[in-house]
Amino acid sequence: MEGFHPSMTSPFAYTFTLSGDNSVSNLTTATTSTFNTTWLNSRIWSKLPQRLIDRIIAFLPLPAFFRARCVCKRWYGLLFNNNFLELYLQVSPQRHWFIFFKNKTRKSYIYKNNNGGSGAGSSCEGYLFDPYEMSWYRISFALVPSGFSPASSSAGLLCWVSDEAGPKTMLLCNPILGSLTQLLPPTLRPRLFPSIGLTITPTCIDVTVAGDDMISPYAVKNLTSETFHIDGGGFYSIWGTTCSLPRLCSLESGRMVHAEGKFYCMNCSPFSVLAYDISSNTWIKIQAPMRRFLRSPSLVECEGKLLLVAAVEKSKLNVPKSLRVWSLQGCGTMWVESERMPQQLYVQFSELEAGNGFECVGNGEFIVIMIKGTEKALLFDISRKRWQWIPPCPYIATDGFELHGFAYEPRLATPVTGLLDQLAMPF
């Protein structure tokens, strides 16, 4: 049996609703009593093999898993049991969640709230959203030092990057466990607000940092990119400089998306898409659909495909304004429109958006569309072709903050991060 760790607490905030209706209470008690007598017979359930019990627990969604850990010391220690974590990685179904942070309106930095009077300085707070249950959870990043902001995510880890101009230091954090691993060493080139892409598989880690080189203020910026790679086969490339970005590009600093072996980011004036092929170490520029009529374009990855979400404001040919989704085809250069927001919903959406713009993030079969300057957001379920408004996050007051989000897959373990320990060891 693994050790009992009393200091480990559940990272989720739970709220339970109690009913004052006596009839409902009596019905619940009677039903529970019957259920306990019929199905929870200790002579049956106490004989279940422990391996089978562990397998059942491994299928639980994270909130239920952390509640189950309150049952006994053994279940509490499952989080530190290597055999259970190995089983969990094999059988636990993928859950496509999202994680959001408060972003101060019309500012370029992530807002960090002060822990008043705690003496611990400042810590960042995140908000997990479960699109299956339409529920919110609050989580703290107490171990992340000040001066870092979330930049990308993959395989249950969040990549935090240093805010200070210069060579960028990066941290990989598992918000469920509170673990923190530094990506050593910092980037080779000094940069300001580069675009950062992260992809993690069971056997390797790839990071790409592009643009915003800190060179002469009179020179053309966004010139170079560099990559970090390490894999289980023993091969590593520590911030190798890749080929230069395409000429006359002006990429928008911030988000990168990974799909089918490439990193993608938006290029503006006019809109296009920049793609970096990891295997061939090459950058190419892809023309965006209806590029001169797009507003607030966002790249998202859903079910392994690259999608572009944008509002269309075409004034000619009597084409109505709309919000559309395009899918990049296998040839890598052609876009096909796959979805369009219903016109009645778009009228409501555009009134709330009022020209302030919006931001999109995708994960699995879901796309979240967040209206800038508000707490309003839409969820689009691609598989069910269903649009619905997301309930407001109960942990955020309407005080001039908006949400900045990332795709997130909650995981109890990401073993590949152990490769990074090798880089910290002397050769």
Phi, psi of 301 (to 5 degrees): -110, 125
* Maximum alpha-carbon separation in the chain: 79
Assigned token pair, 198: 């992260």
Q: Does domain 97-424 have CATH number 3.40.50.1000?
A: no
Write b or e for each residue in 98-115: b if 16 or more Cβ atoms lie within 10 A of its Cβ, otherwise e: bbbbbbeeeeeebbbeee
Quote the CA–CA distance of 323 and 297 in Å, as a whole number. Answer: 10
**Over its length of 427 residues, how does the chain's per-residue pLDDT go in tens digits?**
333 333 344 444 433 333 334 433 343 344 444 445 556 677 777 778 889 999 999 999 888 999 998 989 999 999 989 999 999 999 998 999 999 998 754 444 444 443 333 333 346 889 999 999 999 999 989 889 999 999 999 999 999 999 998 999 999 999 888 889 998 889 998 988 889 999 999 899 999 999 888 776 665 566 788 999 999 888 888 898 777 788 777 776 678 999 999 999 998 877 889 999 988 888 999 999 888 888 899 999 999 999 999 999 876 666 678 999 999 998 888 999 999 999 999 999 999 998 889 999 999 999 999 998 888 899 999 999 999 999 999 988 766 677 889 999 999 988 888 888 776 644 3
Kindly give the residue spans of alpha helices, DSSP state H, lying in 155-291: none
Quote the CA–CA distance of 188 and 167 in Å, as a whole number. Answer: 6
Helix or strand run (H / E) with residue 87: helix 82-91
Helix or strand run (H / E) with residue 35: helix 22-39
Domain locations in the chain as residue ranges: 22-91, 97-424
Distance from the first to the final alpha carbon of the chain: 36
Assigned token pair, 402: 């908006």
> Chain-wide mean pLDDT for the chain?
81
| Residue 80 near residue 2 (C-beta atoms within 8 A) | yes
| Three-state SS sequence of 363-387 | ECCEEEEEECCCCCEEEEECCCCEE
Q: How far is CA 244 from the centre of its chain?
A: 28
Assigned token pair, 33: 């009593």
Quote the CA–CA distance of 46 and 60 in Å, as a whole number. Answer: 20
pLDDT score at 216: 62
CA distances from 126 to 117, 138, 151, 202 (A): 20, 6, 13, 25
